[in-house]
């Protein structure tokens, strides 16, 4: 594994680029997330995926400042929760303060929410903040085709990326095809389905054939599908393992077998009805 492999850039629809692999910051706090990010950066990860809702951006900021890599060499994203769509500027400002940075490489709307007018207003404000230099790119998360069409209709362009739940059991084929056709990069959250696929016979068999772990097989599948996976872990050896997926290639038969696992099983809420309220 080399830094060049794990941080290899992929092009975006605005003419810029971002790392094609990342590290997720969900569900870890304090020294746990600080150390995890330091280990990830040491192993070559350069895309750090954060969010205001995770409640750990101050710690993420501490890790960014002390990871040994210059800020300009990192790609840092954050997200605005639907209940903050009425004042996205305040949410963005808080994230920048907590992270200790002047600009986000990408700011996303975390979920569509159920209020179309508010959603589009929040997106428009992020576009303005992009023009002002507070964010470099605008993206979305958990948006469906209907939501993306609304953005195109309102603004004449698409977000640079859509971060959605993606893994072998939940492949969102229509949405993924739509995003690819329109130049929207797919970022996969929950790429390992929270470990629930590690004992699947097909995955285990493919892993044995390649001398890799089941997790590495799944992450390699994401890479070959063109997804930007953002695995998360607070275990040092697992972080290294998750990043060590660039030295082998799955065969067409391997890919077909994993593709065949798609059954619609997923973790996340319904993007059409989820409001973000507790």
Residue 119 falls inside a structural domain: yes
pLDDT at 4 (0 to 100): 56
Q: How many domains does the chain fold into?
A: 1
The model's pLDDT over 140-149, given as tens digits with 9 standing for 90+, comes to 999 999 999 9
Instruction: Point out the residues of the chain with pLDDT beneath 70.
Output: 1-4, 278
Residue 265 falls inside a structural domain: no
Residues with catalytic function: 54
Residue 126 falls inside a structural domain: yes
Residue 32 falls inside a structural domain: yes
pLDDT at 278 (0 to 100): 65
- pTM value is 0.97
Q: Which domain holds residue 187?
A: 18-193+227-234
pLDDT at 265 (0 to 100): 97
Query: DSSP H helical segments within 7-115, as ranges?
Result: 30-42, 57-66, 88-99
The domain spanning residue 122 has which CATH number? 3.20.20.100
Residue 53 falls inside a structural domain: yes
Tell me the residue ranges of DSSP E strands in the chain: 9-11, 17-19, 22-24, 47-49, 75-80, 106-109, 138-141, 161-165, 185-189, 228-229
Residue 148 falls inside a structural domain: yes
pLDDT at 191 (0 to 100): 98
Residue 88 falls inside a structural domain: yes
Residue 203 falls inside a structural domain: no
The model's pLDDT over 178-204, given as tens digits with 9 standing for 90+, comes to 999 999 999 999 999 988 899 999 999
Annotated ligand binding at 266? The verdict is no
pLDDT at 122 (0 to 100): 99
């Amino acid at each position: 594994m080399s830094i060049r492999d794990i941080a290899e850039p992929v092009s975006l629809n605005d003419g810029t680029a971002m790392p094609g692999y990342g590290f997720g910051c969900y569900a870890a706090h304090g020294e746990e997330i600080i150390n995890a990010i330091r280990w990830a950066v040491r192993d070559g990860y350069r895309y750090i995926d954060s969010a205001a809702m995770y409640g750990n951006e101050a710690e993420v900021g501490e890790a960014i400042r002390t990871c040994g890599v210059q800020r300009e060499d990192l790609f840092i994203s954050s997200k605005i929760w639907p209940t903050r769509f009425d004042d996205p500027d305040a949410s963005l400002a808080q994230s920048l303060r907590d992270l200790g940075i002047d600009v986000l490489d990408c700011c996303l709307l975390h979920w569509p929410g159920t209020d179309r007018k508010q959603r589009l207003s929040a997106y428009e404000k992020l576009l303005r903040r992009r023009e002002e230099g507070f964010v470099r790119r605008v993206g979305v998360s958990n948006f469906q085709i209907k939501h993306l069409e609304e953005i195109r209709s309102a603004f004449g362009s698409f977000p640079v990326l859509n971060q959605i739940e993606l893994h072998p059991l939940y492949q969102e084929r229509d949405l993924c095809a739509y995003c690819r056709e329109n130049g929207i990069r797919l970022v996969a959250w929950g790429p390992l389905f929270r470990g629930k696929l590690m004992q699947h016979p097909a995955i285990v068999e493919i892993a044995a054939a390649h001398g890799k772990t089941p997790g590495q097989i799944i992450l390699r599948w994401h890479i070959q599908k063109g997804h930007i996976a953002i695995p998360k872990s607070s275990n040092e050896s697992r972080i290294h393992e998750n990043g060590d997926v660039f030295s082998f290639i799955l065969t067409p038969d391997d890919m077909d077998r994993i593709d065949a696992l798609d059954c619609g099983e997923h973790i996340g809420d319904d993007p059409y009805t989820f409001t973000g309220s507790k």
